[in-house]
Amino acid sequence: MIHPTPPGTRDVLPDEMRELRALAAVLRRAFEGAGFGEVRTPALEYEDVLRRGDERAGPPGFRLFDSEGHVLALRSDMTIPIARVVAARYSDAEPPFRLCYFAHAFRAVERGRGQAAEFLQGGIELVGPSAPVGDAEVVSLVLEALDEAGLRRHRIGLGDASLYPSLLERLEVPEEDRAPLLERLGRRDLVGLEERVDRLDLGGEARELLVTLPTLRGGPEVLERLSGSLAPAVENLRACYELLSERGVAERVILDLGLVLELGYYTGAVFELYDPAVGFTLGSGGRYDDLLGRFGRPLPACGMALHIERVHVARTAEERLR
Partner 1 sequence: MTAGTGLTIAVPRGALFADTLDLLDLLEIDTSELRSGDRRLLFSGPALAQRGIDGIVTMRPSDVPTYVEHGAADLGVTGKDVLLEQTEREVYELLDLGYGRCRMIVAARRGDDALAESLRRLGSVRIATKYPGIATRHFADTGRQAEVVEVKGSVELAPLTGLVDGIVDLTATGRTLVENDLEEREQIEVCTARLIANPVAHKLKAQAIDALMARIRGRP
Q: Does 7 bind partner 1 (CB under 8 A)?
A: no
Segment interacting with partner 1 (CB under 8 A) among 19-27, 243-251, 273-281, 292-300: 273-281
List binders of partner 1 among 214-253 (CB under 8 A). Answer: 215, 217-218
Q: How far is the CB of 77 from partner 1 (least distance, A)?
A: 17
Neighbours of 90 (CB within 10 A): 15
Cα 149 to Cα 172: distance, rounded to the nearest angstrom? 47
List binders of partner 1 among 171-200 (CB under 8 A). Answer: 187-192
Residues 6+ apart with CB under 8 A from 210: 167, 168, 171, 173, 181, 193, 197, 202
Q: What is the CA radius of gyration of the chain?
A: 20
Q: Does 289 bind partner 1 (CB under 8 A)?
A: no
List binders of partner 1 among 252-271 (CB under 8 A). Answer: 254, 256
List binders of partner 1 among 10-69 (CB under 8 A). Answer: none
Q: How far is the CB of 282 from partner 1 (least distance, A)?
A: 9
Segment interacting with partner 1 (CB under 8 A) among 42-50, 56-64, 106-114, 226-234: 106-114
Cα 278 to Cα 184: distance, rounded to the nearest angstrom? 25
Q: How far is the CB of 109 from partner 1 (least distance, A)?
A: 10
Q: Which is nearer to partner 1, 274 or 295 (CB)?
A: 274
Residues 142 and 283 sit within 8 Å (Cβ to Cβ)? yes
Give the containing element (helix H, strand E) for 198: helix 190-198
Q: Which is nearer to partner 1, 86 or 260 (CB)?
A: 260
Cα 196 to Cα 204: distance, rounded to the nearest angstrom? 15
Q: How far is the CB of 211 from partner 1 (least distance, A)?
A: 12
Q: How far is the CB of 192 from partner 1 (least distance, A)?
A: 7
Residues 258 and 185 sit within 8 Å (Cβ to Cβ)? yes
Q: How far is the CB of 171 from partner 1 (least distance, A)?
A: 23
Amino acid present at 90: Y
Q: In angstroms, how far is the first alpha carbon of the chain from the final one? A: 42
Q: Which is nearer to partner 1, 48 or 224 (CB)?
A: 224
Cα 29 to Cα 66: distance, rounded to the nearest angstrom? 37
Contact residues toward partner 1 (CB under 8 A) are 110, 113-114, 155, 157, 187-192, 215, 217-218, 254, 256, 272, 274-281, 317
